[in-house]
Structure 1
Amino acid sequence: MTEMRKDMIGGLATFSKHALIVAAAAGIAFAGAIDDASADAKFQSWIADFRGTALNSGVSASTFNRAFVGVTEIDPEVLQKAKSQPEFTEPVWGYLDNRVNEQSIATGREMSRKYSRWLGAIEKSFGVDRNILLAIWSMETNFGEIMKRDDVMRDAVRSLATLAYADPRRAKYARTQLIAAMKILQKGDIDRSHLTGSWAGALGHTQFIPTSYLAYAVDMDGNGKRDIWNSVPDALATAANLLHKNGWQSGQTWGYEVVLPAGRKFPSGSRTIAEWQSIGVVRANGKAFPRGGEKATLKVPDGRGGPAFLMTRNFYVLKNYNNADKYALGVGLLADQIGGSSGLRQEWNRPFTPITMKEREELQNHLRELGYYDGKVDGKIGDGSRNAIQAFQKQMGLDPDGHPSMEVLTVIRKK
């Protein structure tokens, strides 16, 4: 769930920044009185008080009543899920291994063929490359597959009401989004039973917070509704509209993988490509830079020994979607490989020998058979997989680093 997030701590900055849910979410403490026996009564009292705020903000009484039918208590899992976010807690290679891999690339190419006509029309209307949109769709909901999971998708009204009531650090953000969610319901683009989203209220295939939905949603398929939950064309066009309106430069890249000359210190901030070239920076694939006057910023997310990148304006436009470098880098790398790129020339500084997604699934299956793991077998390594790997490593007298490595797979294959 990677929502449009930029600093929920201070509330929503503007509708022009879709990025705004997750950027400052990690490590937030929650109110301690939620498990009190009177919590439900207090929550109902809060809902009653919030009614006046909503009505004064343009939500009708009938819409408010419809929105809160069945919302009788907070969702404790929302508070649990809000404690940390992978953009800010995982090493860059761990974050990208789960998102830019042979499975996501193959599915992206399949979706490119399936929705080719729509993607062509969206490119023509908004000037955003189809592979970028497919990568966003993958990063946000795994091409819609996450929307089928009850353990991820939740009642958006209840989620946002929970945050507004129980999380002082997100309360302002959540109140704003809750009112916007009711306005979506009021407009009739989605019915109440299908107003679902992530723990933080991000909606649909491409995970738009409600205020950003109101600002950018598009009825691409022409059925009279801006339905990012059920219409892939609407969802992809809505993402394209956000990027377009935030300054996406059509026909240009998000950045370049580069090789840095040894023994040099590099200036911070933006420089022209020609200036970077003058100090010895070259493209990793050996090709020439297409535009010497283009401005770019150097980033080395895994240190000087890992891949290096010159990031152009479009990289920062992607951060309007999610204000995290890892997210924008993931979108760019995945988009390139969906489009046929061979991937990075320089490997990440992983402290282990990496394995493929199929091998990760094999590892999870072995861990399940041995009783260490009871989660989903999908090749994606989250806390459950890491804890299972650590438990197995401890049992075998190995360093319990929790990494999905060839070293661990080799040992577990012998069990």
Structure 2
Amino acid sequence: MQALTTLGFDYPKRGDFYRKELEQLFLLSREEKVRPAIFNGSYAGAMGLGQFISSSYRNYAVDGNRDGKRDLWNPQDAIPSVANYFARNGWKRGGGVAVPAAVSGGGAGLAETTPKKPSRTLGELANAGVRPQARLNSARVSLLKLEGSTDEYWVGGENFYVITRYNANLKYAMAVHQLAQAIRQRKFGL
């Protein structure tokens, strides 16, 4: 509450946004039947393990353990809440996320460094000189460029875009995808 109040009234650049989030916090408090001060958050007002802002908490949090509360500090509620956020933002079960790509010719000109909704087909990328290095199950794709000491190119699908709706940083989304793949490999050998 303190962070949202400070940002809402003392940070003119984004004051409207944070005042709306403060209102959402009061509505959340009423819905959950707790005092607003019980919700601890970050310096920017994000709460719980999934770092949901007040409006996301209200719209996407679920009672995963069926104890009558949506407690985003409890993994039994936080993990299903993040999954609910993904599902409601277009996650396609069985859909691909992202695969490395080899780029030649004019293909590099199609690369994006900020997340945008995928609008191309794999065929369109292939015609421009982009070759995914693995199979990607996605109707629409984007060519992504991760800038670093050595630039990397990836073909991202619709599910990758969903991750960027949760956090718009391209490198964050890629880290989430790569961590998930490492966990999957270790746990299931896939």
Instruction: Give TM-score, length-normalised by structure 1.
Output: 0.40
Report the CA distance shift for 1:320/1:307 in structure 2 as closer, same or farther (over 3 A).
same
Please, which of 111, 114, 124 is the counterpart of residue 275 of structure 1? 124
Q: CA RMSD in A?
A: 2.3
Please, which of 37, 42, 47 is the counterpart of residue 203 of structure 1? 47
Please, which of 164, 172, 175 is the counterpart of residue 319 of structure 1? 164
Contact 2:99 2:136 in 1 (8 A): no
Opposite residue 240 of structure 1, the aligned amino acid is: A
Residues 195-240 of structure 1: per-residue CA shift (max 9 Å, x gap): 10111111111011001111111011000011112x2121111111
**Gap runs ≥5 in structure 2:** 111-117
- Quick one: distance in 2 between partners of 1:247 and 1:260? 28
The 5-angstrom pairing of residues 135-154 of structure 1 reads none
**Gap runs ≥5 in structure 1:** 1-156, 342-415
Give SS of 1:179's match: helix
Kindly indicate whether residue 180 of structure 2 is the aligned counterpart of residue 331 of structure 1: no
Kindly indicate whether residue 106 of structure 2 is the aligned counterpart of residue 265 of structure 1: yes
2:91 corresponds in structure 1 to: 248
Give SS of 1:199's match: coil
Report the CA distance shift for 1:228/1:304 in structure 2 as closer, same or farther (over 3 A).
closer
Report the CA distance shift for 1:188/1:296 in structure 2 as closer, same or farther (over 3 A).
closer
Contact 1:189 1:225 in 2 (8 A): no
- Quick one: distance in 1 between partners of 2:120 and 2:36? 50
Give SS of 2:99's match: strand
Contact 1:189 1:226 in 2 (8 A): no
Contact 2:47 2:53 in 1 (8 A): yes
Report the CA distance shift for 1:179/1:333 in structure 2 as closer, same or farther (over 3 A).
same
1:171 corresponds in structure 2 to: 15
Report the CA distance shift for 1:307/1:180 in structure 2 as closer, same or farther (over 3 A).
same
Deviation at 1:305, TM superposition (A): 4.5
Report the CA distance shift for 1:216/1:294 in structure 2 as closer, same or farther (over 3 A).
same
Kindly indicate whether residue 37 of structure 2 is the aligned counterpart of residue 188 of structure 1: no
Deviation at 1:335, TM superposition (A): 1.3
1:233 corresponds in structure 2 to: 76
- Quick one: distance in 2 between partners of 1:290 and 1:186? 44
Opposite residue 236 of structure 1, the aligned amino acid is: I
Deviation at 1:184, TM superposition (A): 1.7
2:115 corresponds in structure 1 to: none
Residues 304-347 of structure 1: per-residue CA shift (max 9 Å, x gap): 95221011111111121122222222211221122128xxxxxx
Give SS of 2:83's match: helix
The 5-angstrom pairing of residues 14-413 of structure 1 reads 157-188=1-32, 190-192=34-36, 194-229=38-73, 231-261=74-104, 264-266=105-107, 268=110, 270-284=119-133, 287=134, 289-291=135-137, 294-302=139-147, 305-340=150-185
Report the CA distance shift for 1:164/1:193 in structure 2 as closer, same or farther (over 3 A).
closer
Give SS of 2:154's match: strand
The percentage of aligned residue pairs carrying the same residue is 31
Opposite residue 165 of structure 2, the aligned amino acid is: N
Residues 1-54 of structure 1: per-residue CA shift (max 9 Å, x gap): xxxxxxxxxxxxxxxxxxxxxxxxxxxxxxxxxxxxxxxxxxxxxxxxxxxxxx
Report the CA distance shift for 1:310/1:192 in structure 2 as closer, same or farther (over 3 A).
same
Count of residues in correspondence between the two structures: 178
Give SS of 2:12's match: coil
1:5 corresponds in structure 2 to: none
1:86 corresponds in structure 2 to: none
**Structure (1 or 2) with the larger CA radius of gyration:** 1
- Quick one: distance in 1 between partners of 2:136 and 2:13? 45
- Quick one: distance in 2 between partners of 1:274 and 1:310? 12
Residues 121-171 of structure 1: per-residue CA shift (max 9 Å, x gap): xxxxxxxxxxxxxxxxxxxxxxxxxxxxxxxxxxxx111110112100121
Instruction: Give TM-score, length-normalised by structure 2.
Output: 0.83
Report the CA distance shift for 1:168/1:340 in structure 2 as closer, same or farther (over 3 A).
same
Give SS of 1:170's match: helix
Deviant stretches of 4+, over 4 Å = 189-193
